[in-house]
Amino acid sequence: MIEVSHLVKSYRDLKAVQDVTFKVEKGEIVGFLGPNGAGKTTTMRMITGVLPPTSGSVKVSGYDVFERPMEVKRRIGYLPETPPVYTDMTVRAYLRFVAEIKGVRRSQREGEVEKVATQTNCRQFIHRVIGNLSKGQRQRVGLAQALLNDPEVLILDEPTVGLDPAQIIEVRQLIKSLAGKHTIVLSTHILPEVVATCQRVLIISQGKVVADDTLEGLQRTHAGALTADGQAGPAPSLEEIFLKLTSA
């Protein structure tokens, strides 16, 4: 569903992304991890066509992101780290506006808005002006706009930032429920979120992919030394693996 091949992004002498290659199969939920400045957001922007690469290619559903951008955008729902909301609009008006931009038929727009508002628990404040909402509420509106028109691929950059613990659990459950029907790339700094939600983990450090495996596969690869009785030590946590791979 997503094919990233030898992706490079340079800013003069700085290489923000260096030869990144990976694939995401249809219906997978992949956790995209890395420390601040590792190149995660830059990579996600290139996948969605927001940012052109210096070299390399990205394909979504077989369409090249930069040769067939409109075909790709029809198939992607994108939640950037800062939700792309208009603060002077009500939630309902904003979602209607995004539905129109995404090509939802006029006769289907109201139903589509109601569906995503219910999915993301936005209905309770759907008539309020976005500028008067809390950070967490704006985040949920951002997630709702990403789900409009039922996209095949969801690119979610820090989808639970600003949410309280109960809302985080709701969003995790929502993301898990979308597996199979949607292909999801989820970037987050909250490692338990990846353990609870994702089927595969992709770790990037200094612009390079340093790990690409299931959590169980990573734990086997990075298992500790034998204990005194000759048995294998406890499996390392994702946090321990992350620190080991990104501390260099």
Read off the pLDDT of residues 184-214 as tens digits, 9 standing for 90 and up. 999 988 888 898 889 999 999 999 999 999 9
Instruction: Tell me the per-residue pLDDT of 131-142, one tens digit each, with 9 for 90 and over.
Output: 999 888 999 999
d(CA 223, CA 217): 10
How many CA atoms are closer than 13 Å to the CA of 67, on its beta-carbon side? 8
Task: Please give the structure tokens belonging to residue 131.
Answer: 């500028």
Residue 154 pLDDT: 95
Q: Which domains does the chain have, with CATH numbers?
A: 2-75+152-246 (3.40.50.300), 84-151 (no CATH)
- Cα–Cα distance, 142 to 159 (Å, whole number): 9
- Give the helix ranges, DSSP H, for the chain: 40-48, 69-73, 91-101, 106-119, 135-147, 165-177, 191-197, 215-221, 238-246
Query: Is the pTM higher than 0.85?
Result: yes
- pLDDT score of 188: 86
Which element (helix H / strand E) includes 202? strand 200-205
Residues 217-243 have pLDDT tens digits of 998 888 765 444 556 667 888 999 999
- Looking at residue 247, its pLDDT comes to 85
Q: Mind giving me the DSSP string for 156-194?
A: EESTTTT--HHHHHHHHHHHHHTBTTBEEEEE-S-HHHH
> What pLDDT, on a 0 to 100 scale, did the predictor assign at position 233?
64
pLDDT value at position 232? 62
pLDDT at 127: 97
| pLDDT value at residue 12 | 87
Parts of the chain with a pLDDT under 50? 226-228
Cβ atoms of 145 and 159 within 8 Å: the answer is no
User: Which tokens in the block code for residue 125?
Assistant: 């404040």
Q: DSSP 3-state assignment of 137?
A: helix
